[in-house]
Structure 1
Amino acid sequence: MEIRIPRLEEYGLSKKMGFLPDKEPLSRLTKKYYEPWEKIMDHYNDYVLMGRFRRIIDELPILSIEYLVSLKEKQRAYLILSFMAHSYVWIDKKPSDRLPASIAKPWIQVSEILEIRPIISYAAVCLWNWRHPFPNEPMNLSNLATLHTFSGTKDESWFYLISTFIEIEGAPCLQIILDTISAAYSKNRNIYIANMKKLSFYIEKITEILSRIYEKCDPYIFYWKIRPYLSGWKNMADAGLPKGVIYEGCSDDYRQYSGGSNGQSALIHLLDTALGVDHNPIGTLSYKTNTCNASVEKKCNFFQEMREYMPGSHRRFLEHLEKIINIRQFSLDNSNDFDVVSAYNACIINLKKLRDKHLQVVSRYIIIQSKNENFINMGLARHVNEKENLKGTGGTNLISFLKQFRNETTSCIIKSAIKPMSSLESCSNNRTIKMSLRNIFSEWNDNEWECIGGLCYV
C-alpha cells in the first residue's frame, strides 16, 4: 500500500497557525443585508440587561446565507448565530426548548457548509473568535483579544484566549508529527528521536499555557456566569431540556447536541492520534500492552463524537493521519533502542502531565464551585449534591471520563524502555528516580482530589 503523507495546505492548515485561520477572523459582516445580525451583537449586553433579548430575536427576520461568499464570512455567520442561539436558550432561569426560525434556519445551513454541528463549539469561541490588536508585534496573551463573549467579562475572554494561544503555540506540532511519520517509514531513528524531542517540548509548552488560566479567570465567574451558555442540549434533563431543542422552520423534531468543549480541539486529538493513545467508551478502559493494538473497528466514544463538532477539513486531516500513523509502532518495533523509546515515552509523560493539569483546572473551576450554594441556578451552573454525577457541557459524566482519558494516556508508556532498577540503585538520586517511576505508573483512587493538600486534582 502506498503511503501518502498529507501536506497541511490540503486541509487549510499551516505551519505557523495550525488549526487557526492564517489571518485573523472577520470582526464584522460588511454587507448591509446582515446588519440585523451585527446590530444584535453590537448591543448584545444591553439587550440582556434590559431583559429584551428573546423578544428581539423573535422579531428578527429570516436572512438567507446566499450572500456569504468567503469562508471567513461563513465562519463569522456561524459565530454570530451560535452566540445568539445559546443566549436565546439559556438566558433565563427556565431554558427555551425552541429556537426561532430566524436563528435556526441560517444556522443549520451555514453549519452544513462548514461541516460542523449547529451548536456552539470550540471552533466558534476559540478558533474564530479572536483578533490581533497590534499586528506588528508577536501574538501572545498580551496581544490577543476576543471578538465576543456572553458575559462581557475579562474572565470569559481570558478563558477563550488561553485555548487560542495554545493553538498558536502548538501549531508547530502539526508539521513535526508529519515529519516524524516520514522518519518512521524511512527508519531514520535520528530524525525520529529529534522530532519526538521537539514534540515533547511543545506538549510541555501547552501545559504551561494552560496553567496561566488562573491569572485572569475567576472560578466563580466561570462556573456561574460563563459555563451555562456553553452548555448544549444533549443529556440535559437536569438542566431543563429533557428532549433537547426544536429548530423551528427546519423540522418539528427535537435535536440534541453537545455543547462547546476543549474535547473538540483538533490539536488535542492530533496528539492522541500521533502517539497512538486510544480512547474507549466510558467504563470500558482497556490498558495497552507493549504491542500495537489499534482497533480496526470504528469506536463509538466521546472523542469520536467530538470530531463531528470540528470543521470538516480538520476532521478529514485527522482521519487521513489515522490511516498512516506509525509513531508508536516504530517505538514498539525498536523497543530495545533505549533512546527511541525514551523519546516516545517523554511525549506520553508530558501528555499525561497536560491531562493532570486539565483535571486540576476542572477541579478548581467546576468541582469546587458546584459544591457552593448560589441564589440562582441556571442550566449547568447549579449546586450539585454529593451523590450527583457532575456533567460536562456535552452532557457527559465529567469526572469519570476525564479520569479515564488520563489513565488511557498513562497506559501507553512502553515499559521496556525503563532501565532495570539495579542500574538505578547505583545513582545518587535513586530515591528521586523511584518516585518519578512510581508517579508515572501509579493508579489514583476515587478520592484523590482530597489527598493532595490544597490543590485539588481529579
Structure 2
Amino acid sequence: MTDRDEPLDPGRFGVSPERGFLPDEAPPTSFEGDDPFLARLDELGRDLPALLERGDLAAAVRDLDPPSADRYDDLTDRELERVYGVTGFLANAYVNGAGGNVVPEGVAVPLYESTRRLDRTPVLSYDAYVLHNWTRADHGRGFAPHDVRTITNFVEARDEQWFVAVHVAIEATAGPALAAIGDAQAGILDDDPRQVETALRTMEDSLYDLIGVLDRMPEHNHPETYGRGFRPYLMALTDVAFEGVPEMEGRHSFRGASGAQSSVFPALDAAIGVDQGDNPLVTHLRELRADMPTEHKAFVEAAAAGPDLHDYVAETDDDRLREAFNEVVDRMVRFRKLHVEVVRRYLTEPFGERKGTGGTPHGPFLEMFIDNTEAMRIEG
C-alpha cells in the first residue's frame, strides 16, 4: 500500500475530536514533590507579572541555580513540558523585558535540557504559550474562552488571559474537523460518498464554530494592551547566548511565539488540497513548522499524503457531495477573512506593523491565502 491508500488516523498523532491538538490531560499547574529548583520555577512562573512590573525579574533569574543535566532524565514528559513552559516564559521575559542578549544559566540549562528531550526548539513557542498553558475555571467543563484560564502569563491584565483562552478554544473547537479528515479519507477508500459527505458536514460545522470563537477576540483583549502590554515579550530572540549550555555555543536567533505555529489550518489546507504557492509568507510558514510538536507536524504530513479529497469530489457527479465540499471551502475563506480583520485591528491599524509576532510577513499575502482557498471550490 502507498501512503495515499491509507486514511489518516488522528489518534496516532495525539489528535482527538474533543480537544484537537490540545493534550489529552490538562497541563500541570505546578510541580509535585519537594524539589527546591522546581518549586522555585513554580514561584517564578506564578509571580512573573509582578516581577516584571517591579523590575525584579532579572535578579531573580540570575539567582537561579539549575540542577545537573541528568536530573531531567527523571522527569515525566508532562513535567518536562512544564519546565519548558516556565523557562520559556522566563527567557523571553528576561531578554525582551530587560533588554539582555544572554539567557542566564539558571534558565538556559533547564530550557535546553527540557526541549532537547521533548524534541522542541529551545524558545517559547505556540505550543508552550497556548497548547500547554491552560486550565479551566472551576465551573468550566468545555473550552469556551470564558472557561479557560492561563497557567503562566506576562501581565496581570485580563487581556492576555483572554488572548490565550481564545486560541485554546480555537484548538479544541477544531477537534471535530481534524478528526473528520480521517473519516473523509476512509470514505474515499471505501468509495462511500455518504461517509465523505458526513465528514465534510462535520468539518463545516466545526469551522462555523471556529469563526464564532475568533470573533470573540475583542471582547476582553484591547489592541493597546496587546500591542504594548504583552506582545513585546513574545517577540523573537535575536543573537542570544545560552549561558552554561556547551551544546549551544555562540549566539542563536529564534522566532517568537505565533498563532502561525498552530497546526490546525496547515492540516485543513493539506486535507482539501489548498496550494498556497510560493511567496515570503509561505516560506516563513514552512520554517515555522520546525517549532511545531513532532506529532503535529507528522499529522499535517499524513493529511497531505492521504487520499485526495478534492479530486474525489470533483470526479463524482454528486451534487450533495460537491455542495458539502464547497461549504467547507467557504467556511475556511470566512475564517481567513476574519483573521485578516483581526490582524488589521491589532497590528496594522494601531501600530503599522507589517509582520506578525513570529516574524510572519502578512500584508497582501494573507489576501492571497484567501484567494487560493476560494479557488478550491468545485463548480458543477
For residues 396 and 142 of structure 1, the distance between their equivalents in structure 2, rounded to whole angstroms, comes to: 28
Percentage of pairs with the same residue: 24
Q: 2:288 aligns with which of 278, 289, 306?
A: 306
Which structure 2 residues correspond to residues 310-325 of structure 1 after superposition, within 5 A? 310-325=292-307
1:112 aligns with 2:116: yes
- Residue by residue over 1:284-306, the C-alpha shift from the partner in whole angstroms, topping out at 9 and shown as x without a partner, is 9xxxxxxxxxxxxxxx7223222
The aligned residue for residue 269 of structure 2 is 272
Report deviation, 1:6.
Answer: 4.2
The aligned residue for residue 130 of structure 2 is 126
1:4 aligns with 2:6: yes
CA pair 278-249 structure 1, distance change in 2 beyond 3 A: farther
The aligned residue for residue 351 of structure 1 is 332
For residues 205 and 189 of structure 1, the distance between their equivalents in structure 2, rounded to whole angstroms, comes to: 24
The aligned residue for residue 394 of structure 1 is 358
For residues 85 and 348 of structure 2, the distance between their equivalents in structure 1, rounded to whole angstroms, comes to: 29
Which structure 2 residues correspond to residues 162-181 of structure 1 after superposition, within 5 A? 162-181=166-185
The aligned residue for residue 193 of structure 1 is 197
TM-score where L is the length of structure 2? 0.92
The aligned residue for residue 326 of structure 1 is 308
Q: Report which stretch shifted further, 74-83 or 55-64.
A: 55-64
* Mapped contact 1:156–1:226 kept (Cα < 8 A): yes
Greater helix fraction, Structure 1 or Structure 2: 2
The aligned residue for residue 31 of structure 1 is 33
For residues 190 and 35 of structure 1, the distance between their equivalents in structure 2, rounded to whole angstroms, comes to: 54
The aligned residue for residue 377 of structure 2 is 413
For residues 356 and 118 of structure 1, the distance between their equivalents in structure 2, rounded to whole angstroms, comes to: 33
CA pair 404-112 structure 1, distance change in 2 beyond 3 A: farther
Matched residue type, 2:343: V
For residues 267 and 102 of structure 2, the distance between their equivalents in structure 1, rounded to whole angstroms, comes to: 35
* Mapped contact 2:177–2:204 kept (Cα < 8 A): no
1:338 aligns with 2:306: no
Report deviation, 1:128.
Answer: 0.7
For residues 329 and 74 of structure 2, the distance between their equivalents in structure 1, rounded to whole angstroms, comes to: 43
Report deviation, 1:23.
Answer: 1.9
1:70 aligns with 2:76: yes
Matched residue type, 1:132: R
* Mapped contact 1:282–1:404 kept (Cα < 8 A): no
Q: 1:245 aligns with which of 236, 240, 243?
A: 240
1:142 aligns with 2:146: yes
Report deviation, 1:112.
Answer: 2.1
* Mapped contact 2:267–2:299 kept (Cα < 8 A): no
SS in 2 for 1:245: strand
Report deviation, 1:403.
Answer: 2.4
* Mapped contact 1:155–1:222 kept (Cα < 8 A): yes
SS in 1 for 2:191: coil
- Residue by residue over 1:35-81, the C-alpha shift from the partner in whole angstroms, topping out at 9 and shown as x without a partner, is 22122123222322221211221121123452652221111111101
Report deviation, 1:194.
Answer: 2.1
- Residue by residue over 1:353-372, the C-alpha shift from the partner in whole angstroms, topping out at 9 and shown as x without a partner, is 1000001011011111105x
* Mapped contact 1:223–1:366 kept (Cα < 8 A): yes
Q: Report which stretch shifted further, 51-60 or 221-230.
A: 51-60
* Mapped contact 2:329–2:376 kept (Cα < 8 A): yes
For residues 68 and 310 of structure 1, the distance between their equivalents in structure 2, rounded to whole angstroms, comes to: 24
CA pair 141-273 structure 1, distance change in 2 beyond 3 A: same
The aligned residue for residue 13 of structure 1 is 15
Equivalent pairs counted in the alignment come to 372
Matched residue type, 1:396: T
For residues 213 and 42 of structure 1, the distance between their equivalents in structure 2, rounded to whole angstroms, comes to: 24
* Mapped contact 2:17–2:179 kept (Cα < 8 A): yes
For residues 280 and 253 of structure 1, the distance between their equivalents in structure 2, rounded to whole angstroms, comes to: 35
For residues 271 and 59 of structure 2, the distance between their equivalents in structure 1, rounded to whole angstroms, comes to: 48
* Mapped contact 1:279–1:301 kept (Cα < 8 A): no
Q: Of the two, which has the highest radius of gyration? A: 1
The aligned residue for residue 263 of structure 1 is 260
Unmatched runs of 5 consecutive residues or more in structure 2: none
The aligned residue for residue 437 of structure 1 is none
Q: Which has the higher contact order (CA 8 A, sep 6+)?
A: 2
Which structure 2 residues correspond to residues 88-107 of structure 1 after superposition, within 5 A? 88-92=94-98, 95-107=99-111
* Mapped contact 1:62–1:106 kept (Cα < 8 A): yes
SS in 2 for 1:120: coil
SS in 1 for 2:121: coil
* Mapped contact 2:242–2:251 kept (Cα < 8 A): yes
* Mapped contact 1:264–1:306 kept (Cα < 8 A): yes
Report deviation, 1:136.
Answer: 7.0
Matched residue type, 1:272: D
Matched residue type, 2:112: I
The aligned residue for residue 81 of structure 1 is 87
For residues 302 and 207 of structure 2, the distance between their equivalents in structure 1, rounded to whole angstroms, comes to: 22
For residues 91 and 210 of structure 2, the distance between their equivalents in structure 1, rounded to whole angstroms, comes to: 31
CA pair 68-205 structure 1, distance change in 2 beyond 3 A: farther
TM-score where L is the length of structure 1? 0.77
SS in 2 for 1:149: coil
- Residue by residue over 1:401-438, the C-alpha shift from the partner in whole angstroms, topping out at 9 and shown as x without a partner, is 32232222122222x33xxxxxxxxxxxxxxxxxxxxx
* Mapped contact 1:79–1:125 kept (Cα < 8 A): yes
